[in-house]
């Protein structure tokens, strides 16, 4: 069993860091009101608001903020300000033992997938795949269900995803149980061949992405297929794939791509989960036991905090 961080309490301090790209300043500022509504205080990493092209400061600065927030006894949880690109540039320099010795809530998604995978594998830590401050919480489109999902940090709760939340489609039938792992498909594919590549053996694999046309999704899934990641998984949870349109004359649909890789996989696969670059965004803990019932089209996930 992985280490589940302690639940948050009203009045706790959250650390805000930018491990990847810089957040939009106006959206970041607007998002802080939501943390206040949750009854949380916050402190920014020393370099969290820096801009270094498409990076939020240098690699060393972003790494320093990550380490300092895990070291800081006042900080009870860490939320990433934004995704984008850059977390993988310093992952091989992270003191992953520091996280194992100081477990606390760590929340983000998209480019943060690389950090989720590293912490899950070498820090044995449950982390959270959920919406971030600048690009999500600080926007008018931030949904009430997305906001409600933060309550799982304050009270251990079993999560139940049914078609009451969104229409779901079974690609391959069956029922499977295992740790929920994964995240952004592009980041998972990039990690293959590194020491941080995802172990999917006997696990439920969550996949989501944005801005990848069907041919690109095809190539990414083929990479997972050829390296055994799909065959090893107990089941596949297909999250949101947004902005996947293509201008090419000859193409396959995204559904056709999914059918090619998943229909004859011989294990449960369900698509349509609002997990990813979407609203609402159903935030989930990674590294906890879960059950995917492709026949009933439900996903049940155990609590992520103690």
Report the C-alpha gap between 115 and 122 in whole angstroms.
10
Please pick, among 18, 27, 82, 110, the residue that the annotation labels catalytic: 110
> Which tokens belong to 271?
């698509």
What's the rounded Cα separation, in Å, for the pair 6 and 206?
A: 24
Count of alpha carbons within 13 Å of 167, Cβ hemisphere only?
A: 1
Residue 110 known to be catalytic: yes
Among candidate residues 18, 179, 191, 208, the one labeled active-site is 208
Q: Which of 102, 92, 109, 67 is nearest to 277 (CA)?
A: 109
State the alpha helices, DSSP H only, in the chain. Answer: 25-37, 59-71, 96-101, 113-122, 144-148, 185-191, 214-226, 229-232, 254-262
Please check whether residue 305 is in contact with residue 3, taking contact to mean a CB–CB distance below 8 angstroms. no
**Number of neighbours of residue 143 by Cβ within 10 angstroms:** 17
82 in catalytic set: no
Catalytic site residue from 47, 116, 129, 277? 277
Q: 203, 180 in Cβ contact below 8 A?
A: yes
6 touches 104 (CB < 8 A): yes
List the beta bridge partners of residue 128.
Answer: 107, 285
Catalytic center residues? 110, 208, 277
């Amino acid at each position: 069993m992985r280490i589940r961080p302690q639940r948050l309490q009203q009045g706790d301090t959250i650390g805000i860091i930018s491990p990847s790209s810089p957040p939009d300043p106006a959206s970041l500022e607007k998002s802080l009101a939501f943390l206040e509504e949750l009854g949380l205080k916050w402190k920014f990493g020393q370099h969290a608001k820096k801009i270094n092209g498409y990076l939020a400061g240098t690699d060393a600065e972003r790494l320093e903020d990550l380490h300092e927030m895990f070291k800081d006894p006042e900080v009870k949880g860490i939320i990433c300000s934004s995704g984008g690109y850059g977390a993988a540039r310093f992952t091989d320099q992270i003191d992953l033992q520091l996280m194992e010795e100081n477990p606390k809530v760590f929340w983000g998604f998209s480019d943060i997938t690389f950090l989720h995978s590293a912490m899950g594998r070498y820090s044995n830590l449950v982390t959270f795949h959920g919406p971030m401050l600048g690009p999500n919480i600080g926007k008018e489109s931030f949904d009430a269900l997305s906001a409600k999902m933060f309550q799982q940090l304050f009270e251990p709760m079993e999560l139940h995803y049914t078609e009451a939340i969104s229409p779901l489609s079974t690609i391959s039938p069956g029922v499977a149980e295992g740790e929920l792992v994964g995240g952004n498909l592009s980041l998972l594919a990039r990690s293959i061949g590194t020491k941080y590549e995802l172990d999917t053996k006997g696990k439920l694999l969550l996949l989501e992405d944005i801005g990848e046309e069907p041919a690109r999704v095809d190539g990414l899934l083929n990479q997972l297929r050829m390296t055994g990641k799909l065959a090893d998984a107990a089941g596949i949870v297909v999250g949101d794939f947004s902005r996947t349109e293509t201008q090419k004359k000859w193409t396959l649909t995204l559904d056709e791509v999914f059918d090619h890789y998943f229909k004859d996989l011989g294990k449960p696969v369900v698509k349509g989960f609002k997990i990813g670059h979407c609203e609402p965004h159903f935030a989930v803990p990674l590294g906890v036991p879960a059950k995917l019932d492709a026949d009933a089209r439900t996903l049940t996930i155990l609590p992520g905090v103690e």
